[in-house]
Copies of this chain bind each other. A is one copy, B any other.
Amino acid sequence: MKEKKIRNIFTEGAIPAQQIADDIQKHATQTQIGAHSIFLGQVRADRKDGGTVNAIEYTAYTEMALEKMAEIRETLFAKYALTCMHVFHSLGRVAVGEICLFVFVSSQHRKAAIDACEELVEAIKFQLPIWGKEILDNEDSTWKENK
């Protein structure tokens, strides 16, 4: 029996900067927190054969991604002394300059939040079944590859 709690991480379209401020503000009442480590992924106007990236269109195997994310979450909470961990990833189209990934990790002391945030970003990139299709300005497209 799996006991881990499945939470949604997916947002349709870009993640608004305002949401980031609101989420930070919400943590002001948690006075045991001393450090927040935040990672944001922003869609880049990369040049590709035949054009420049205008947007990325994200799709995912959502059930599997959420299941896997719950596992990653459990592993990181077991490994680091964390207070909170929040992940938001876009689905659908996100234009150049917009935010497609928002990772927010909080802890009492800075090292736990910083290390867990870095590990979490890597896990999201390499362990979650999510795919980005780069839409070029000439309307061609190319599948994104993570490095």
Contacts and interface: CB of A to CB of B under 8 A. Distances in A.
Interface of A: 17-18, 20-22, 24-25, 27-45, 96-99, 108-110, 114, 117-118, 121, 147
A28 B24 CA distance: 19
A41 B109 CA distance: 9
A24 B40 contact: yes
Given A24-B20, A114-B121, A96 B31 contact: yes
Contact of A27 (B18, B31, B42, B114): B42
A36 B15 CA distance: 14
Given A31-B43, A38-B38, 5 more contacts: A20-B24, A34-B41, A35-B41, A38-B39, A114-B118
A108 to B, nearest CB: 7
A20 B19 CA distance: 11
